[in-house]
Chain A
């Protein structure tokens, strides 16, 4: 898709065009969880849930927050990194919940990968490109370009990346991946996990 393709696509709700909105998709993902000591005996590289966080955060309906540009990911990120004992500089790739384009920009800030307002320049410079970026993002195309599977395809993709099974999508550094759920503008509810290869 070219920039012209994007700019020529119809408005859905200005400022979102057709390609700012995710695809409607039918599908399924299954996740098998076992204890880490048992996972060692399984045929594939174990992927550990190093940390997870969820809960209410910021929203725009009278929750004491008057700035809707403040990322709802912020409070989740703080608890996620504390739970995992890791920080944003240790994350090697990220699969961010992207029902709409804006959610991605907001999460890049909220999870500590960029200062507020700097994301568009970083995107233009390729910072989040799969092949050459310092933090490859949504390596499978995400909900916007692979399909809307309520974010479960993000977990699947992160596991494939960590195991080195992602084929032409494989990123160079793939031991620590961030996966995130709904950003929480409507309900104020969000979730995320840090996955690490054993």
Chain B
């Protein structure tokens, strides 16, 4: 998608989150999973949100969830986003864990967004190191 390859408004990977963004660039949605208590952690951080241990592994969740809420952005907050507005951002509750709510652009034009809508992760490569997470209606 040209709109994405030309964009300059990008996340800034850091020590903790670099594997997350790099995996999305490769088309894979990964989350930190605790080797001790099996809790999932998002956003990326050095310790587990559940037990505060530091034995975290990057693993692939099912990548499905349901829409908890959403907003529609009309204001172009950066020049490269101007052509995207208005766009819908979904807040998705991941199937694996109720307190993981991940925002991402909702890309299904033909399915009206609503609370409880089943969606799946749609990674989008932007650079070699950075991909973005979008959501689309699950088929």
Q: Residues of A with Cβ closer than 8 Å to B?
A: 10-15, 60-66, 68
Q: Smallest CB–CB gap between B103 and chain A, Å? A: 9
User: Shortest CB–CB separation between residue B45 and chain A, in angstroms?
Assistant: 9
A12 to B99, CA, bound (A): 27
Which residues of B42-67 have CB atoms within 8 Å of chain A's CB atoms? 42-43, 49
Question: Judging by beta carbons under 8 Å apart, are B74 and A64 in contact?
Answer: no
A62–B72 CA distance with the chains assembled, in angstroms: 23
User: Which of B41, B68, B74, B86 neighbours the largest number of chain A CB atoms within 10 Å of its CB?
Assistant: B74
Number of A-B contacts (CB under 8 A): 44
Question: Does residue B101 face the partner (Cβ distance < 8 Å to A)?
Answer: yes
A10 to B100, CA, bound (A): 32
CB contact list, B74-116 vs A, under 8 A: 74-75, 86, 91, 93, 98-101
Report the Cα distance A76→B68, complex, angstroms.
Answer: 25
Contacts of B93 in A (CB 8 A): 66
Pair A62/B41 contact, Cβ less than 8 Å? yes
Residue B71 at the A interface, CB < 8 A? yes
* Measured CA separation A60–B68 after assembly (Å): 12
Known contacts: A63-B99, A64-B49. The answer to whether A13 contacts B72 by CB under 8 A is: yes
Pick the most buried of A13, A62, A68: most chain B CB atoms within 10 A of its CB: A62
Residues of B within 8 A of A14 (CB): 71-74, 86
User: In the assembled complex, how far is the CB of residue A14 from the closest CB belonging to chain B, in whole angstroms?
Assistant: 4
Q: Give the distance to chain B from A97, nearest Cβ to Cβ, in Å.
A: 20
Residues of chain A contacted by B101 (CB below 8 angstroms): 60-62, 66, 68
Write out the residue numbers on chain B whose beta carbons fall within 8 Å of the beta carbon of A64: 49, 99
Q: List 15 A-B contacts (CB under 8 A).
A: A11-B72, A11-B75, A12-B75, A13-B72, A13-B74, A15-B71, A60-B91, A62-B43, A62-B100, A62-B101, A64-B49, A66-B99, A68-B68, A68-B69, A68-B91
